[in-house]
Amino acid sequence: MPDAVTLRVFRSARTLAWGECDPAGIIYYPTYYRWMDQAAWDLLAACGYGAQRMRDEGFTIPLVNAQCDFIASPLFGDACEVRTHLARHGRSSFTLAHEVVRAGGERDGEVLARGSESRVWCRYAAGPGTPLRSERLPPDLLAALN
């Protein structure tokens, strides 16, 4: 991940729960995707676009692409951190880069996974379940992400 001095990095703490593990007690790979998704929503909330505002203003951020490279496996109970930053943006689309690292202990900072999500800033025509229309990313959101 690029240096935190040049990018605004958002951090989300996680502890690997038993229900997020496979029978061997290591992370079940979809857990990384759930963590990345939650990190995206945590990032929006930190930038002033929490769930209530998103609902009130009819916004959503549908996922159009996701990928993850699995590097190492945390075990049940391990503390982890998802580090997220804006990797790129267009008029309405944006890509978030995520890095999952071990948090604490002698292997603190060990990279466990790297992934990304591409999303589109959209508004519902008339509430959830109605057609979506992409909109320009709000300037205040972009400013908060940089």
Of 24, 11, 30, 32, nearest to 76 by C-alpha is: 24
Q: What pTM was estimated for this model as a whole?
A: 0.90
Which pLDDT score, from 0 to 100, does residue 4 have? 41
Start-end of H helices in the chain: 30-46, 51-57, 139-145
Specify the CATH number of the domain 10-145: 3.10.129.10
State the DSSP string of 18-48. Answer: GGGB-TTSBB-THHHHHHHHHHHHHHHHHTT
Residue 45 is which amino acid? A
pLDDT at 39: 97
Please state the domain extents for the chain.
Answer: 10-145
Confirm if 117 and 73 have CB atoms less than 8 A apart.
no
Alpha-carbon distances of 48 from 21, 109, 110, rounded to whole Å: 33, 28, 30
Per-residue pLDDT 10s for the chain (146 aa) are: 444 445 789 999 999 999 999 888 889 999 999 999 999 999 999 999 999 999 999 999 999 999 999 999 999 999 999 999 999 999 999 999 999 999 988 888 999 999 999 999 999 999 888 999 999 999 999 999 98
What does the pLDDT read at residue 60? 96
Q: Where are the alpha helices (DSSP H) in 2-138?
A: 30-46, 51-57
